Amino acid sequence: MIEDEKIDTPADEALREDTAEAAPEVAEHDRTARLEEELAEARQDVLYAHAELQNVRRRAEKEAADARAYGVTGFARDMLSVKDNLERALAAIPDTMKGHEGFQGLVAGIEATARELDAAFARNGIVRIAAMGLPLDPNRHQAMLEVPSADAEPGTIVQEMQPGYTIKDRLLRPALVGVAKKPD
């Protein structure tokens, strides 16, 4: 069997020559388009990487600032019990003993220690939470009991069992309080 042989005509030859000459231009155009596409993707990747770097930097700066501001939180909580005990010690001393010659030095020492602790708290942004006479704020106060009261509005704090404190803008310890309710 004889295969069909195609005989090239002069028109076919001219077409082949035009295509061969145009092929480098088409190939160069495709290559340029592909490179431009890759460049656009690389620019986008660089922008994303830059944005991510800025976010990481901002997060690190915020974490460092929080660590400086709130790093003493555990220690401050421990010192609150010392403050509570100093206040209890001062409250437990009868007035007759405060004026007694033998106890004046002890009382003065306890009072000076309490003042120094208050000054240290103030320097570190530790502030006592106001409670008495205010409405109960569950974000700052912890209601321990309800007290029947005809004088105060229901929900108003009428007794403070333990003072609460904040450090900077965060709650360190809620105030333990008694809240007014309508008398039975």
Give the residue among 169, 141, 137 at the shortest CA–CA distance from 65.
169
Structural domain contains residue 33? yes
Residues 20, 49 within the same domain? yes
Residues 88, 52 within the same domain? no
* pLDDT tens track for 103-122: 888 888 999 999 999 999 99
Sequence-ordered alpha helix ranges (H) in 71-137: 73-92, 95-98, 104-123
Residues 147, 183 within the same domain? yes
What is the CATH classification number for the domain harbouring 137?
Answer: 2.30.22.10
* pLDDT tens track for 119-155: 999 998 899 999 999 999 999 999 999 988 888 888 8
Residue 165 pairs in a beta bridge with: 128, 173
CB-based burial label for 28 (10 Å; 0-12, 13-18, 19+): exposed
| Mean pLDDT for the chain overall | 85
The rounded distance, in Å, linking the Cα atoms of 127 and 80 is 11
Structural domain contains residue 162? yes
Sign of CA dihedral 91, 127, 180, 156: positive
- Give strand ranges (E) for the chain: 126-128, 141-148, 157-162, 165-167, 170-173, 175-181
Q: What is the extent of the structural domain holding 157?
A: 126-184
Structural domain contains residue 5? no
* pLDDT tens track for 34-62: 999 999 999 999 999 999 999 999 999 99
Residues 84, 55 within the same domain? no
pLDDT of residue 19: 53
Residues 100, 76 within the same domain? yes
pLDDT of residue 169: 85
- pTM here is 0.64
Across 23-39, average pLDDT: 82
pLDDT of residue 9: 67
Residues 80, 58 within the same domain? no
Structural domain contains residue 2? no
Domain boundary among 29, 45, 70: 70
Structural domain contains residue 178? yes
Binned at pLDDT 50, 70 and 90, residue 5 comes out as low
